[in-house]
Structure 1
Amino acid sequence: MSLTPELILQLSLLLPVLASAAIVAAGGKPNLREAVTICACLIQLYCLIHLYLAFKAGYSVALVAWQLLPGLQFSFTVEPLGLIFALTSSFLWLITTLYAIGYMRSHKEENQTRFYACFAIAMSAVMFIAFADNLFTVFVFYEILTLSTYPLVSHAGTEQAKKAGRVYLGILLSTSIVFFLLAIVITWFVAGSLSFKVGGIFGSDVDSMLLSILLLLFVFGVAKAAIMPFHRWLPAAMVAPTPVSALLHAVAVVKAGVFIVLKICLFIFGPDLLASLPVTQFLLYLAAASVLLASLVAMQQDNLKVRLAYSTISQLGYITIGALLANSSALVGSTMHIVMHAFAKITLFFCAGAILVTAHKSKVSEMPGLGRQMPVTMAAFFIASLSIIGVPPTGGSWSKWFLLLGVLEAEQWWLMIVLMLSSLLNIVYLLPIPLAAFLPGLYSTKVATVTGLAVKEAPAWSLMAICITTLGCIVLFIYPQALYELSLAITGT
């Protein structure tokens, strides 16, 4: 029996949950446990490629799983934005698993079975969010994503890790219940629907003040997008193992946040309505402030992972800006930046973890000269930094280019200055790290060493993952067409 696209969609939603159960069952045999995880990643990726090809062929895939009340149901559909999010997350789930095998074993982490199992559950939540056809479905799996990643944030079990977990859970749950859920309930009563619809679901007779309040509630309620002032959970969560940081920053959590913001702006409000609301301009100011302030804070951080965390807050602001501008170029840039930032930032975190495991260093001030002992890792850090900055030949240059075109199309000239200044700040807090690693005399006379042990590259599995994501940063610059076409399809052009 051949698998139809509808069955493939069901499998892609449920496979990570089934994999989680198999991982727990194989927990006593590390090689089997990790083989199960890798097989699940490969099957998941195959399913999503199949869905992509079906979409390209013009096949419409939709699924109603369970109806609670008329109009209130768990329903799913395959559309371009969801495909981009699901494909990116699934591919990076595979690469993060490869990285984690080397990292978790070398670092002698405890509770590795719990790590892989919770990671799989989180990926299932990501799939449900990516293909959700309405706000009710999104909200339920948004909460499941929060709960499934909490054990990962507090994985170490130390008092610091437990405190970080409480901050993580407290901010994400409180904002989603107080703001996000309230906005969904109001939307249900005002629009009579929670389904995503091209052009939005609100009628022309709805009061603009009420719509402005709703937009504020949605943006603040989706705190996974880490817009200030609801961003503190992100740097707090950096006590987690590096593969978890990769999950938070590139694969699942923050990308789920900005993905939902994009969906709400496009398919709940619609571009025309967004442009007419005065609160949209306020939120643009807020997103721009997040971009710049987070960059300034990042410059002050000596802990590498915390510096990268604030960099993520800044980069998410780019995507939010594109979503709020909601013109064709801005939406293409915002959507592409989800992918470009994912590959670049996961590479940077992979490098940070490799340095920790191999050289036992976590502070930027300790890294001058490290490039002589870890040339592949530091070269990867350099290339990924160029992508975050937005410099050819890396993928980040395309997304930032389209975002700039979107700003010009909207005639928001001040935002052009913000984006350009932000890229300069990216240079200041990122490039000195690899440059000092290879040319320590420019920054410090101290050369990184490990007491009694020559520094070498990361474990083979981790190094392979670093090389793959670094190559991805370059390939996305050379071959951006497929991503560009999917991004254009979101705008209806």
Structure 2
Amino acid sequence: MEAVSTTHTVKSFYLLLAVLIPLVGSLVVMTQKNRPNLRELVSSCSSVLLFLVVLSFIPALKAGQTLVFPIFQLLPGLSITLRADGFSMIFALVASSLWVIAVFYSMGYMRAHDEPCQTRFNACFALAIFGAIGVAFADNLLTLYLFYEIVSVCTYPLVAHHQDKESYDGARKYIVYLTTTAKLFLLPALILIYVLVGNLDFPHTISTGILPADTADWLVIMLYFFCLFGFAKNGIMPFHHWLPSAMVAPTPVSALLHAVAVVKVGVFCTTRVMLYVFGVEIMTDLNLGIFTAYFVGFTIIMASIIALSKDNLKARLAYSTVSQLSYIILGVALLTPAAIEGGLIHIVNHAFAKITLFFCAGAIYIAAHKKYISEMSGLGRIMPFTFGAFAVASLSMIGVPPVAGFVSKWYLLVGSMDAHQVGILVILIVSTVLNVGYFAPVTYKAFFGKRPPGETETGIREAPLSMLIPLLIAVTVSVIIGIFPNFMMQFVRMVTG
């Protein structure tokens, strides 16, 4: 399998502009501590401008061009360089578009809940997007690594936002897990790859990777697992504990962690390295792909089982994320065109559905002050738009047509059959049943359950429009990309050919 070769490479300053927009936006936000309206105006304008710049790359990519922008060179073969290709656009479009929605939702949530330190929140939120866009447009492993670490550092204050013991404990676990795995596994792997190859540049196809053909098998295998575990943001067990712990953060941060930036950075980096550093041929020859598929298959099943036991809605969604992230890695690891396409498109499909679910969790908390599923019986009749959106996004997570998640599941199922992996097929079917098990009760209780004894409906209503409209937009997009998947699939097919 070989991706479509680009006709030529074009230098584009707009790549640097895309990275600088959230950075400059965050710096301006920091100066507007006493001007909340101006602060939020800067955040919203920055998000819209970034999205428009990312959209402007599409005509060039469809014409067969690869956009690059070298920033500076450290050593021969070692530079900080940006690149836009089909793979980049999958994540860049998700991060930039969801930042727009998340900014407007955050305004409503932070004000409705009277959250402290809103200036720091907005600035760090923008810095996290700065890191995510840098990851999306990284042309080599060094650039990828630097922006990956930026995301980790800039999201620490967001996880610790409430500044109480629970927040600091969750944030400490978050930063220790992510930075320790990166230093212990990822950084040594980068150094060894540079010594072996002489550079860290990503090739333009996914067939052969960059490692020399005479590299010892044991060394390739070691480097592969160092990279797989080094990108701990991908949520693979046993390096997943940081993710549920990070749920102490405000709901907009949880949405950022699960849909916009952090975990998507993890799976994007993991799949980028799988396909562009090791390549399909090496992974096939050493059976790394099938082993990885079954390895993450364990995460898919176990995280789903744990999700079933969680009564806290955000905790249930957190373990759902752990499970769903592994769908992406599983698809790529199967190494068949359909499976890779299913894995990569799930980056998009999961993002829109999961941000909807977290937005709904935040809306429920603001409107009804409920965190636990057992307390939500009957709320769907009072908050039909919120719980209706939750139901539709849940269907996407389960994989029911016509919502976006169905497209992912379809390609993954076809890809597993193409790879002749009946075991993977069983894992996908069992996990789908488990998805139903932990999502369906939420909707059922909300619409058909009886209000708990002694609870009144007085004062409970839909969340403010500033929160309700973004979540309805997100769930609508999830349905649209389920019915019309070809817009995003065109970038996925630039990868697989």
Query: How does the TM-score come out when normalised to structure 2?
Result: 0.96
1:248-278 Cα offsets, whole Å, 9 max, x none, are 0000000000001111111001111111224
Three-state SS of the structure 1 residue aligned to 2:56 is: helix
Are 1:482 and 2:487 an aligned pair?
Answer: yes
2:171, 2:246 within 8 Å by CA — same for their partners in 1?
yes
2:22, 2:127 within 8 Å by CA — same for their partners in 1?
yes
Counterpart residue number, 2:392: 383
Identity of counterpart residues, as a percentage? Answer: 43
Whole-angstrom CA distance in 2 between matches of 1:5 and 1:249: 33
Could you tell me which runs of 5 or more consecutive residues in structure 2 were left unpaired when the two chains were aligned: 1-9
Given the alignment, which residue of 158, 162, 165 partners 2:168? 162
Are 1:473 and 2:482 an aligned pair?
Answer: no
1:401-447 Cα offsets, whole Å, 9 max, x none, are 11111111111110000001101100000011011111115xxx637
- Structure 1 residues 321 and 158: CA distance shift in structure 2, 3 A: same
Counterpart residue number, 2:108: 102
Counterpart residue number, 1:196: 202
Deviation at 1:27, TM superposition (A): 2.0
1:81-120 alignment to 2 at 5 Å?
81-120=87-126
Given the alignment, which residue of 356, 360, 374 partners 2:365? 356
Counterpart residue number, 1:48: 54
1:62-461 alignment to 2 at 5 Å?
62-197=68-203, 198=205, 199=207, 200-440=209-449, 446=452, 449=455, 453-461=458-466
2:11, 2:68 within 8 Å by CA — same for their partners in 1?
no
Deviation at 1:35, TM superposition (A): 0.7
Greater mean deviation of Cα atoms: 204-213 or 173-182: 204-213
CA RMSD of aligned residues (A): 1.3
1:42-70 Cα offsets, whole Å, 9 max, x none, are 11011000012221233331111010100
Counterpart residue number, 2:468: 463
Counterpart residue number, 1:37: 43
- Structure 1 residues 459 and 450: CA distance shift in structure 2, 3 A: farther
Deviation at 1:282, TM superposition (A): 3.2
1:64-108 Cα offsets, whole Å, 9 max, x none, are 101010001001111111111011111000100111111000011
Deviation at 1:5, TM superposition (A): 7.2
- Structure 1 residues 141 and 196: CA distance shift in structure 2, 3 A: same
Whole-angstrom CA distance in 2 between matches of 1:128 and 1:382: 34
1:278-332 Cα offsets, whole Å, 9 max, x none, are 4443322220000000000000001000000000000011001112122211111
The letter of the residue matching 1:76 is L
Whole-angstrom CA distance in 2 between matches of 1:361 and 1:450: 13
- Structure 1 residues 375 and 172: CA distance shift in structure 2, 3 A: same
1:123-181 Cα offsets, whole Å, 9 max, x none, are 11111110101111111111111000000000000100000010000000000000011
Whole-angstrom CA distance in 2 between matches of 1:60 and 1:185: 27
Are 1:12 and 2:18 an aligned pair?
Answer: yes
Whole-angstrom CA distance in 2 between matches of 1:325 and 1:288: 11
Deviation at 1:473, TM superposition (A): 1.2
Whole-angstrom CA distance in 2 between matches of 1:335 and 1:347: 20
Three-state SS of the structure 2 residue aligned to 1:27 is: coil
2:13, 2:69 within 8 Å by CA — same for their partners in 1?
no
2:251, 2:359 within 8 Å by CA — same for their partners in 1?
yes
Three-state SS of the structure 1 residue aligned to 2:57 is: helix
Whole-angstrom CA distance in 2 between matches of 1:337 and 1:450: 40
- Structure 1 residues 447 and 341: CA distance shift in structure 2, 3 A: farther
Greater mean deviation of Cα atoms: 273-282 or 211-220: 273-282
The letter of the residue matching 1:38 is S
Whole-angstrom CA distance in 1 between matches of 2:200 and 2:128: 24
Counterpart residue number, 1:28: 34
Whole-angstrom CA distance in 2 between matches of 1:449 and 1:40: 43
The letter of the residue matching 1:346 is I
2:304, 2:320 within 8 Å by CA — same for their partners in 1?
yes
2:102, 2:252 within 8 Å by CA — same for their partners in 1?
yes
The letter of the residue matching 1:179 is F
Deviation at 1:224, TM superposition (A): 0.3
The letter of the residue matching 2:13 is L
The letter of the residue matching 1:487 is V
